[in-house]
């Protein structure tokens, strides 16, 4: 699991303690604009009220908050040390999004084989800075720390590797930068946080998206000519904000039967439950599927509304089609983003497809029956979404 720290008796009253701890560790007390504070305050209040933490869980949850704020301060300090980063152009980034567990990660990592793209590596999301040459990464203490954190995380919850494997050098999700604004559900996905979740649903994520764009500029400032390849399922909730910061983005939206995707997401999130809490597992699982089904159904509807204003900037990819014919889907994507596909890229992608690295740590197994809703009840929340993309038939092989 992530670094743990001795937690305070009450989280709500520990705001000053938290800031001092982070300032001492990073060597800077510049936290940037104060727009992150409302979310941080609500998160700390929620941590006192909602979860039934074990003692270990309290330490890990506090450590996650500390590390998130540390990453923010690290980024703010890096922007001050690299004052010209804001001149870095971000031209027509390719952004992958879609409801979670709809193939976004597999697609992202397959496209990342093409070295003409640059992405957000996991270790640089922990410690945002201009990306150094790859050969020098092991020389950085920040890189080695991320390696250690991930190794410890999978030691605590080994089944999580089969569901969603990560490495320090892998490209990762934009949500890790967006979480620095403390308006992100990623901050509390490991424990019960109904109070924070309710607040977050009406929070303004505009400041977090503007901060996110600056971090992307910072990280890519040593590679100004490379096209960005980004990925975050959560962007479909905020597609208007994504286009506000990247007006010429090319968005690839993945689709999968929500009666498979949403239970898979809940199964992934529930794997962390025993790390933080040791009771109410079945009750939380049932509540989670109902909540996540509504959340992502609303996200799809919001995205549909935004897409009408950007008709030529979104491409739909069905999960089942991608797994049946990944090479054919790649041809469609490259035509959409206006890039050629050299033979070497085709060959490298074919090798990754044949290797099936997503299956290297076993298959992620889950059963919707464990979460208290039937498949039809989940699909019903999504209106005509399943029929519109023929997701049952086209996803039958998966």
Could you tell me which residues come within 8 angstroms of residue 161 by beta carbon, excluding any fewer than 6 positions away? 154, 361, 362
Would residue 63 be called left, alpha or beta, if left means φ above 0 and alpha means ψ between -120 and 50 degrees?
alpha
The pLDDT score that the predictor gives to residue 357 is 72
Give the orientation angle of helix 55-81 with respect to helix 37-49, to 10 degrees: 170
Q: Is residue 329 part of a domain?
A: yes
Does a structural domain hold residue 4? Answer: no
* Mean pLDDT for the chain overall: 92
Within a domain: 203: yes
Q: How much is the average pLDDT of 66-80?
A: 97
pLDDT band with cut points at 50, 70 and 90 for residue 188: confident
Give the pLDDT band of residue 164 (cuts 50, 70, 90): very low
- 250-255 sheet: strands from edge to edge: 117-118, 227-231, 94-98, 250-255, 314-318
The kind and range of the H/E element at 143 are helix 141-156
Its pTM stands at 0.93
pLDDT tens-digit readout, 99-127:
999 999 999 999 999 999 999 999 999 99
Task: Judge whether residue 358 has pLDDT over 80.
Answer: no
Q: What is the mean pLDDT of residues 146-170?
A: 69
pLDDT band at residue 159 under the 50/70/90 scheme: low
Has residue 2 been placed in a domain? no
What is the per-residue pLDDT for 224? 93
Q: Of the given ranges (2-11, 27-36, 41-50, 85-94), which has the lowest mean pLDDT?
A: 2-11
Do the domain assignments include residue 3? Answer: no
Read off the CATH number of the domain in which 26 is found: 3.40.50.300
Q: Which domain holds residue 213?
A: 15-394
Q: What is the percent of the chain where pLDDT is above 70? A: 93
Residue 7 lies in a domain: no
Confidence of residue 153 (pLDDT cuts 50, 70, 90): low
d(CA 19, CA 69) in angstroms, rounded, equals: 8
Question: Residue 247: which pLDDT band, with cuts at 50, 70 and 90?
Answer: very high
Distance CA 171, CA 206 (A): 24
Mean pLDDT, residues 159-171: 65
- Does the residue 10 lie in any domain? no
* Surface-to-core class of residue 360, CB atoms within 10 Å of its CB (0-12 exposed, 13-18 middle, 19+ buried): exposed
Q: Is pLDDT of 398 > 50?
A: no
Residue 236 lies in a domain: yes
Burial of 235 (0-12, 13-18, 19+ CB in 10 A): buried
Q: How many domains does the chain have?
A: 1
The answer on pLDDT for 363 being more than 70 is: no
> Does the structure show a pLDDT above 60 at 161?
no
* Token pair belonging to 345: 């890229």
Reply yes or no on whether the pLDDT at 278 is more than 60. Answer: yes
């Amino acid at each position: 699991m992530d670094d743990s720290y001795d937690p305070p008796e009450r989280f709500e009253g520990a705001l000053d303690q938290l800031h001092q701890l982070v300032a001492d560790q990073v060597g800077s007390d510049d936290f940037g604009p104060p727009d992150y504070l409302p979310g941080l305050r609500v998160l700390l209040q929620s941590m006192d009220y909602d979860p039934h933490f074990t003692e270990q869980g309290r330490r890990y949850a506090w450590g996650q908050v500390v590390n998130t704020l540390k990453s923010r301060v690290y980024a703010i300090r890096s922007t001050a040390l690299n004052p010209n980063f804001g001149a870095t152009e971000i031209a027509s980034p390719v952004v992958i999004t879609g409801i979670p567990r709809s193939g976004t990660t597999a697609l992202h990592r397959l496209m990342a084989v093409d070295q003409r793209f640059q992405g957000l590596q996991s270790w640089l999301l922990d410690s945002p800075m201009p990306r150094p040459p790859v050969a020098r990464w092991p020389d950085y203490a920040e890189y080695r720390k991320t390696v250690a954190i991930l190794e410890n995380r999978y030691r605590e919850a080994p089944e999580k590797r089969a569901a969603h494997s990560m490495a320090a050098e892998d490209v990762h999700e934009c949500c890790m930068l967006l979480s620095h604004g403390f308006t992100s559900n990623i901050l509390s996905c490991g424990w019960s946080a109904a109070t924070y979740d309710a607040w977050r649903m009406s929070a303004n994520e505009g400041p977090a998206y503007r901060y996110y764009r600056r971090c992307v500029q910072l990280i890519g400032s040593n590679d100004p000519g490379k096209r960005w390849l980004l990925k975050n399922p959560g962007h479909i909730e905020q597609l208007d904000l994504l286009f506000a910061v990247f007006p010429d983005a090319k968005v690839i939206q993945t689709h999968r039967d929500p009666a498979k995707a949403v239970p898979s997401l809940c199964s992934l999130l529930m794997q962390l439950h025993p790390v933080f809490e040791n009771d109410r597992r079945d009750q939380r699982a049932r509540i989670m599927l109902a909540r996540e089904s509504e959340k992502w159904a609303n996200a799809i509807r919001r995205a549909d509304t935004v897409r009408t204003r950007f008709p030529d900037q979104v491409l739909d990819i069905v999960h089942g089609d991608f797994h049946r014919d990944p090479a054919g889907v790649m041809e469609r994507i490259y035509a959409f983003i206006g890039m050629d596909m050299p033979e070497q890229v085709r060959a490298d992608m074919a090798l990754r497809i044949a290797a099936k690295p997503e299956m290297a740590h076993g298959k992620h197994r889950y059963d919707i029956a464990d979460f208290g809703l039937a498949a039809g009840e989940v699909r019903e929340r999504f209106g005509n979404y399943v029929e519109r993309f023929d997701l049952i038939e086209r996803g039958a092989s998966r």
